[in-house]
Amino acid sequence: MTGETTSRTGFTTERLRRARFAVAAVFCVHGAVTGSFATRIPWIQEHAGVGAGQLGLALAFPAVGASLAMPLAGAISHRFGARNALRGLLALWTAALILPSLAPNVYGLCAALLVYGATAGMSDVAMNALGVETENRLGKSIMSSLHGMWSAGALIGSAAGTVAAHLGTDARLHHVLAAGVLTVLGLVCCQGVLDLHSAPDEEPPPRFTLPPRSALVIGAIGFCGVFAEGASLDWSAVYLEDELGASAGLAAGCTTAFALTMTVARLAGDRVVDRFGPVRTVRVGGAAATLGGVLVVLAPHPAVAMAGFGLMGLGVAVVVPLAFAAAARSGPNPSQAIAGVATITYTSGLIAPSAIGGIADATSLTFSFGLVTLLAVGLVLGAGVLRPGGRGTAKAVVAESVPDPR
């Protein structure tokens, strides 16, 4: 090695930096699939001939598929190694983008979205586990910026989908082209991630198991953050328009601003976490989200509510990445713990929009966001469970497929 330092984990610092950029690119590709799909939902709904109620039912199937399949990710990584597992699972996810636009009816759409969600969940667990391992070896926080790259990818995919929809492009053609490009990009990016294999004497994780208790406690924090995020993304525009009389354009702009706020906060969040630690960061974030919720509930004018939603976005932005990082350090099996937290957060994201709507029907939308504010208070009170127990990595040995020339 010519002047290159080697970390205590056996990797050169340059190799770890390359691995960080590679896994960040994987997160971006993963997010781009979601953005590409979301913008073409109206086309898919019309093509499949489904009504609003049937579409709502079908859109529950990605979360069902993810929850069922995520526990498998640990066993796949154990058998094939982290890099090969991620390469295969990410390729399945990018290819699954094609399926929903091919669905001829509601039954085909439900089946397509079940597969879509299953591949999303497994690749999500694999890339988060590798992200945590890379973070551990670097010795500094990177999970927030990785999730920021996911959000950036979702914005890029959404932008491309918006252009395709504006041009009247058939979603089948759009998604075939997008899947092809993203599959190639994903395979290239995966080549640079760390190639980690389980120790020879390590028992393979069970294919299906209940989440460990530590994941349930940490997942509760993730649940609060994702619920507030999902409620704000799906209902902020409706809140401004129905409760405060904002124009449709201003209401839509609030949703876009909220998404951009979260992306920027996640990209910048690692420096904050490294300086103040995950517990203090989430407590302050929870306080900001609580203040934002109060502004939303008491807002006399759309501008005040928009400021409130912005504070909520800033406050909850780093909760999920820090929950994944804490889960991976909570026990000997990072993939199993991450799968447990991911299942809880996926469930939160699934029920948040419908729960807000149901509560609003029974009471009011203002009351619904009062409950969201209480969940933000939960972040302040429960942040202590994210306290790291050390940066030791899980049982794994390094097996570089190509020797590092340095």
Place 200 in a pLDDT band, splitting at 50, 70 and 90. Answer: low
What residues contact 62, with CB distance under 8 A and at least 6 apart? 113, 114, 116, 117, 120
What residues contact 176, with CB distance under 8 A and at least 6 apart? 98
Q: Is the pLDDT of residue 125 over 70?
A: yes
Other C-beta atoms lying within 10 Å of the C-beta of residue 26: 29
* Segment 306-328, tens digit of pLDDT: 999 999 999 999 999 999 888 87
Bigger pLDDT: 382 vs 3 = 382
Helix (H, G, I), strand (E, B) or coil at 276: helix
* Segment 136-188, tens digit of pLDDT: 888 888 999 999 999 899 888 888 888 888 888 999 999 999 999 999 999 99
Q: Is the pLDDT of residue 124 over 80?
A: yes
Q: Which pTM was predicted? A: 0.78
* Segment 88-97, tens digit of pLDDT: 999 999 999 9
Place 202 in a pLDDT band, splitting at 50, 70 and 90. Answer: low
Bigger pLDDT: 26 vs 246 = 26
CA 380 to chain centre: 21
* Segment 254-290, tens digit of pLDDT: 877 888 888 889 989 999 999 999 999 999 999 999 9
22 vs 69: CA distance, rounded Å: 25
Task: Identify residue 252 by its one-letter amino acid code.
Answer: A
Amino acid 201: pLDDT:
61
Q: Is the pLDDT of residue 394 over 50?
A: no
Q: Is the pLDDT of residue 41 over 80?
A: yes
Amino acid 73: pLDDT:
85
Q: Is the pLDDT of residue 61 over 60?
A: yes
CA 251 to chain centre: 24
Amino acid 406: pLDDT:
34
Polymer length in residues for the chain: 406
240 vs 117: CA distance, rounded Å: 31
